[in-house]
Homo-oligomer: A and B are copies of this chain.
Amino acid sequence: MPVVTITRRLRFNAAHRIHNPALSDDENARLYGKCNNPNWHGHNYLLDVSVTGEVDPRTGYVIDLGDVRDIVTREVIDKLDHRNLNLDVDFLRGINPTSENLVVAIWRVIAPLITPARLTRLRLWETEHNFVDYDGNT
């Protein structure tokens, strides 16, 4: 059977601050500049969720995209949208919300829930000009 990757785009709008509490305020300011603003800033994030598997000859689907949308909405989007990524999100507790750390944390939430097709890539857009990709590699 052909192996196809299917991708669903979802969105969330959130506040955050890039800050590592293990470092001094000076060190944080030096490392992160205006992204370290203690009063927060925010973004309209886009999250592209890619799932790979054989096409089921009965349904013509790798996976029902509605199921992907529902899982990611319930486990990720509803927890991030209109929230503060440093303060409000259980699965981000203690995590400095850089794009890199966000995409890895989201992967760990979603990957076990996608089955039997496999989550193969997350792309997280922070702005129109930058995004991160994660495929589970360590």
* Chain A residues packing against B (C-beta within 8 Å): 1-11, 13-16, 18, 20, 22-23, 31, 33-35, 37, 39-44, 50, 55, 58-62, 64-66, 81-84, 87-88, 96-101, 103-104, 127-134, 137-138
Residues from chain B with a CB closer than 8 A to the CB of A66 are 33
By DSSP majority rule, is chain A's interface helix, strand, loop, or mixed? mixed
Residues from chain B with a CB closer than 8 A to the CB of A2 are 100, 104, 134, 137-138
* Residue pair A55, B104 in contact (C-beta under 8 Å): yes
A38 to chain B, nearest CB (A): 9
A31 to chain B, nearest CB (A): 6
User: Taking CB as reference atom, which chain B residue is nearest A19?
Assistant: B60
* Residue pair B43, A43 in contact (C-beta under 8 Å): yes
* Residue pair B42, A7 in contact (C-beta under 8 Å): no
Most B CB within 10 A of own CB, among A44, A96, A133: A44
CB-CB under 8 A for A137 and B3, given A39-B15, A84-B40:
yes
Bound-complex Cα distance A43 to B44 (A): 5
Residues from chain B with a CB closer than 8 A to the CB of A7 are 130-133
Residues from chain B with a CB closer than 8 A to the CB of A10 are 129
